[in-house]
């Protein structure tokens, strides 16, 4: 089976976000970039499936040259091929634009399963899995925590509000992974050394069959117009805890009468 794993290269979850001077993007100075944690579950599951059933794993991302480090990380863990759709010169590409670029490249590759995490931890839009499936004319199942392989299909367990759904999906298809699916491996030293020698294929929007003028800047359907930090919260009101029963009663009274949330 041919596996395609899409990932986002995002600020480390430890990053303290600062707003850039333009007021619509983050200040990238001192930001450490990582493969989005949810995408790591997707990569791990693709690698495990390849190891059990054969096939190839291709990692693909959309981004600037720094994302090559993320692609090398995927190669080091066991991916066979790496593709970067270059974002050079493209500003303000929205989720649909990214989906169109990825879909355009994936269409040119044999693919039985297209994988990614259920969200990138940067823009958090959580729309790429269904969008990519729609553009590739494939079914999808998102938020997958457990997979069973059948002949030409998968049974996927996924979290919904207050319940678990079991979804049967025929292949080819798009699978959105989430936490609980597996424990991502670390790259071995041997893998890291081997990854250094592998080539990264860099593709342009033209390779994806997409005219940049239809996705970037003013052509984006959803534009960020102002980015700001959440408002600062008021200082905490501390309740003395010498007498737990008294403290608890005072807290409940404050929640009811002052905060009015009970």
Partner 1 sequence: MSNVLVFIEQRDGKIRKSSLEALTLGNSLSKKSGGALAAVIAGSGIGALAGELGAYGASKVFVADRPELALFSSEGYAAALDAAATAFKPSIVLASATVMGRDVAPRFAARRGVSVLSDVMSLDVANGRITGERPVYSGKARVLVTAAAAAEIQVATPRPNVFPASKAEAPGAGEVVNLDLGALKIRAKVVKVQAAEAGEIDVAEADKIVTGGRGIKGPESWPMLRALCIELGAALGASRAAVDAGWIGHEHQVGQTGKVVSPSLYIACGVSGAIQHLAGMGSSKVIVAINKDPEAPIFKVATYGIVGDLFQIVPAMTEAAKKLKA
- Near partner 1 in 187-226, by CB under 8 A: 218-226
Cβ neighbours around 100 below 10 Å, total: 21
Closer residue to partner 1 in complex, CB, 123/204: 123
Q: Interface with partner 1 by CB under 8 A: which range of 57-65, 77-85, 121-129, 185-193?
A: 121-129
Q: Should residue 24 be labelled a site residue for partner 1 when binding is judged by CB under 8 A? A: yes
Binding mask 98-117 for partner 1 (x = CB under 8 A): -x------------------
Q: Should residue 138 be labelled a site residue for partner 1 when binding is judged by CB under 8 A? A: yes
Cα–Cα nearest to 186, from 84, 83, 52, 78: 78
How many Å apart are CA 103 and CA 241, to the nearest integer? 58
| C-beta separation of 127 from 98 below 8 A | no
Binding residues for partner 1, rule CB under 8 A, total 89
Closer residue to partner 1 in complex, CB, 47/131: 131
φ, ψ of residue 115 to 5 degrees: the values are -115, 150
| C-beta separation of 142 from 158 below 8 A | yes
Q: Should residue 95 be labelled a site residue for partner 1 when binding is judged by CB under 8 A? A: yes
Q: Should residue 38 be labelled a site residue for partner 1 when binding is judged by CB under 8 A? A: yes
Q: How far is the CB of 158 from partner 1 (least distance, A)?
A: 8
Q: Is 43 left (phi over 0), alpha (psi -120 to 50) or beta?
A: alpha
Q: Should residue 131 be labelled a site residue for partner 1 when binding is judged by CB under 8 A? A: yes
Work out whether strand 9-11 and strand 33-35 pair parallel, antiparallel, or are unpaired: antiparallel
In 77-152, at which residue ranges do the beta strands (DSSP E only) sit?
A: 81-86, 113-117, 140-150
Q: Should residue 97 be labelled a site residue for partner 1 when binding is judged by CB under 8 A? A: yes
Q: Should residue 230 be labelled a site residue for partner 1 when binding is judged by CB under 8 A? A: yes
| C-beta separation of 118 from 126 below 8 A | yes
Q: How far is the CB of 193 from partner 1 (least distance, A)?
A: 30
Q: What is the dihedral of CA 20, 25, 31, 37, to 10 degrees?
A: 160
Among 1, 48, 68, 96, binds partner 1 (CB under 8 A): 96
Q: Should residue 244 be labelled a site residue for partner 1 when binding is judged by CB under 8 A? A: yes
Q: Should residue 236 be labelled a site residue for partner 1 when binding is judged by CB under 8 A? A: yes
Among 22, 30, 124, 151, binds partner 1 (CB under 8 A): 124
């Amino acid at each position: 089976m041919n596996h395609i794993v899409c990932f986002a290269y995002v600020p480390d979850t430890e990053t303290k976000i600062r707003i850039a001077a333009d007021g619509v993007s983050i200040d990238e100075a001192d930001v450490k970039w990582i493969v989005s944690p949810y995408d790591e579950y997707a990569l791990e599951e693709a690698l495990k499936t390849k190891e059990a059933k054969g096939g190839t794993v291709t990692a693909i991302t959309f981004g600037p040259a720094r994302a090559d480090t993320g692609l090398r990380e995927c190669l080091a863990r066991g991916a066979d091929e790496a593709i970067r759709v270059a974002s050079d010169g493209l500003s303000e590409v929205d989720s649909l634009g990214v989906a169109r670029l990825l879909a355009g490249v994936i269409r040119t590759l044999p693919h039985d399963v297209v994988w990614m995490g259920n969200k990138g931890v940067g823009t958090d839009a959580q729309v790429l899995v269904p969008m990519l499936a729609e553009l590739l004319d494939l079914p999808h199942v998102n938020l997958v925590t457990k997979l069973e392989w059948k002949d030409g299909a998968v049974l996927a367990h996924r979290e919904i509000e207050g319940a678990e759904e079991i979804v049967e999906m025929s292949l080819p298809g798009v699978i959105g992974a989430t936490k609980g699916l597996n424990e991502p491996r670390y790259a071995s030293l041997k893998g890291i050394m081997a990854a250094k020698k592998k080539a990264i294929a860099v593709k342009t929007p033209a390779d994806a069959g997409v005219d940049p003028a239809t996705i970037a800047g003013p052509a984006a359907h959803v534009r960020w117009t102002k980015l700001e930090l959440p408002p600062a919260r008021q200082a905490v009101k501390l309740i003395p805890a010498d007498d737990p029963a008294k403290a608890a009663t005072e807290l409940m009274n404050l929640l009811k009468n002052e905060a009015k949330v009970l």
